[in-house]
Structure 1
Amino acid sequence: MTRPTFVEALNTRPWLLADGATGTNYFQMGLVSGDAPEIWNFEFPERVRSLHRRFIEAGADIILTNTFGGNRHRLKLHNAQDQVREVNIAAARNARAEADAVNRPVYVAGSIGPTGEIFEPIGSMSHAEGVAAFAEQAKALQEGGVDVLWIETMSSEEELRAAVEGAAQAGLPIVTTMSFDTNGRTMMGITPQAFGALASSLGTQPVAIGANCGVGASELVATVLGITAARPDAHVVAKGNCGIPQYVDGHIHYTGTPELMADYARIALDAGARIIGGCCGTSPDHLAAMRKSLETYSKGTRPSIETVEQRLGAVSELAKGFDLAAAGAARRERRRARD
């Protein structure tokens, strides 16, 4: 039987389940803070493949390669900037082997994270440098056999544009997500609604756009509501953190239970997400609960922010679309005009 392509599955399936966390699960498997998880693709390939396998067994339709920091600028922190091709090919092959070992379609997404540099005009990274770095990584992921390129956790327009332009050189479908972790905005101030408009202006159109990471399930769903309002035509990704991180007994622990993440998956579907998964703190157990929840559910009515808060937790005022600081400034300006 011929397997549908990733884009065919995206266009015909009511939802696709993406996998969960990489880093937080690797820490439980022995990764030491400060080490590069990407080097595990060589040093501990069985650990990498084991996590992919567990997510597939939990029901993932999409698994992301262990290459979030696989560009030359991030790898330079570990003196591995000349191993971009080797790192990304090895990671893609690790994921591909596990995806191909099961008798259902599982798609391999080549994870492409930020460079860690600030782009011009605020920083020193030029557009051309960014494009070259992202193209280098994307071509290696394509060579390794990924189905789609997955640009994630972006925060600035400049880096997003460079990433998409560079990734497009590999000739694969592109998914791109931003992280809205600063009161409903990215670190560089982009709102979900602005991201929707920005994505529509890209030279190469992503097959899906959305949000990952951020501040927890409730805020992530609020972000999805903003993106889908701005781009009702788009396939949208929801890949939220598993609750809120807390420092417990020397370790970071995420508060989200499998029950919370199961409810999050249903609400994200109602909010308009087509690809639903987990980010930091999301284990295979959480993902299995999400799969079971989605399989026994039909998309319902679009949730209100009040519904999101009741079921998943508080949402910041800015994520709701209320900029209190701006509103206060406008009131002060009106008073000055009257005086």
Structure 2
Amino acid sequence: MTQLPQLDAALFLTDGGAETTLIFDDGIDLPDFAAFPLLDDPDGHAALTRYFERYASIAERDGAGVVLETATWRASRDWGERLGYDARRLESANRKAVDLLLDVRQRFAIPVVISGCVGPRGDAYRPDTTMTREQARDYHSAQIRTFADTPADLVTAMTLTNVPEATGIVDAARDAGVPVVISFTVETDGRLPSGDTLGDAIEAVDRDTDGYPLYYMVNCAHPTHIAPGLDPGAAWAPRLRGIRANASRMSHAELDEAEVLDRGDPEELADDYRELRRTFPQLTVLGGCCGTDHRHVDAVSRAFSG
């Protein structure tokens, strides 16, 4: 298995909430919350470049590394079809997303890990159907094969709600010979939307894939929602390495109905991360998700780098 730099680092940053930043700060319309169409537009491409450079600059200032996720959370078959993208255009978009981050990486003298971002097939806040493991493997294979044929360092599946989809994604990554990270999302009680505990989900995926994932993460939930699912003494604890939290304490259902972005407070979020790491020191890959921007990641970086 590939040894990536974040596996041995005391602190590795990620970027924040790309889609909410682009919508609410840059004033860019993102139908279906999809950022990948911006790659076909010069102004959109420039906005994405500025977005990622902010996070690399923070990491460089504080002597940390950074994992940057391609703007492809929605760049899979079903979502692509809704936006008028056939298989050929989707493949091109995924490749362009990696190329953009390659351009960013060459401008910074720190470890910049490029991750091909894979999102759930359905709505991460309102999962209506659950695929079988085999269906998930088939659905996600095209996007993952594309990433495997680029210089991307790994694939990260974000905001997953259930075990079968996660397991199928791992199968597709193993078929393509690419390292993979699995990131679940949780509700306010620390459980996945499927009802599984975080620990049970991690153990199930590891058991069914012979421990193929590099590590696991949680994203798109506030630290106070993540905390109930953590058990520092559990056998699965060392497998959970990263957190990309929301700025807001609202539930997924409340966020889905909200008309105004809840940005929370960057310093308060950094304090919440401190509390998580106090009881769960395995967490070394830290960044943001919905509602967060470079100010939140800056506060988190300062909290742990100095």
Using structure 1 for the length normalisation, give the TM-score: 0.76
- Unaligned runs of 5+ residues in structure 2 are 60-64
Q: After the TM superposition, which of the residue ranges 109-118 and 287-296 deviates more from structure 2?
A: 109-118
| Counterpart residue number, 1:74 | 79
Indicate the SS of the match to 1:202.
helix
| Counterpart residue number, 1:177 | 183
**CA–CA separation in structure 2 for the residues paired with 1:138 and 1:14:** 28
Q: Displacement, 1:251?
A: 4.7
| Counterpart residue number, 2:29 | 32
| Counterpart residue number, 1:329 | none
**CA–CA separation in structure 2 for the residues paired with 1:124 and 1:58:** 38
Does residue 266 of structure 1 match 2:285?
no
Paired residues of 1:154 and 1:160 also in contact (CA < 8 A): yes
Flag the 1:127–1:277 CA change in 2: closer, same or farther, 3 A.
Answer: same
**Greater RCO, 1 or 2 (C-alpha within 8 Å, sep 6+):** 2
Flag the 1:230–1:280 CA change in 2: closer, same or farther, 3 A.
Answer: farther
Q: Displacement, 1:158?
A: 1.5
**CA–CA separation in structure 2 for the residues paired with 1:124 and 1:294:** 38
Flag the 1:177–1:124 CA change in 2: closer, same or farther, 3 A.
Answer: closer
**CA–CA separation in structure 2 for the residues paired with 1:117 and 1:33:** 15
**CA–CA separation in structure 2 for the residues paired with 1:227 and 1:156:** 22
Paired residues of 1:195 and 1:227 also in contact (CA < 8 A): no
Mapping for residues 147-166 of structure 1, pairs under 5 Å:
147-166=153-172
**CA–CA separation in structure 1 for the residues paired with 2:17 and 2:170:** 23
The code of the aligned residue for 1:30 comes to G
**CA–CA separation in structure 1 for the residues paired with 2:232 and 2:165:** 19
The code of the aligned residue for 1:220 comes to I
Note the alpha carbon deviations across 1:205-243, whole angstroms, 9 max, x for none.
1111121112x22112333x2477341332421111112
**CA–CA separation in structure 2 for the residues paired with 1:99 and 1:111:** 17
| Counterpart residue number, 1:256 | 264
Runs of 4+ in 1 over 4 A off after TM superposition: 122-127
Does residue 48 of structure 1 match 2:26?
no
Paired residues of 1:110 and 1:141 also in contact (CA < 8 A): yes
**CA–CA separation in structure 2 for the residues paired with 1:143 and 1:191:** 34
| Counterpart residue number, 1:278 | 288
Flag the 1:221–1:277 CA change in 2: closer, same or farther, 3 A.
Answer: farther
| Counterpart residue number, 1:209 | 216
Paired residues of 1:49 and 1:94 also in contact (CA < 8 A): yes
| Counterpart residue number, 1:131 | 137
**CA–CA separation in structure 1 for the residues paired with 2:15 and 2:2:** 15
Q: Displacement, 1:117?
A: 7.8
Indicate the SS of the match to 1:254.
coil
- Unaligned runs of 5+ residues in structure 1 are 297-339
Paired residues of 2:72 and 2:94 also in contact (CA < 8 A): yes
Identity %, equivalent residues = 20
Q: Displacement, 1:147?
A: 0.9
| Counterpart residue number, 1:99 | 105
Using structure 2 for the length normalisation, give the TM-score: 0.84
**CA–CA separation in structure 2 for the residues paired with 1:110 and 1:10:** 15
Paired residues of 1:239 and 1:276 also in contact (CA < 8 A): yes
**Total equivalences in the alignment:** 285
Considering only aligned residues, what root-mean-square deviation do their CA atoms show, in Å? 2.5
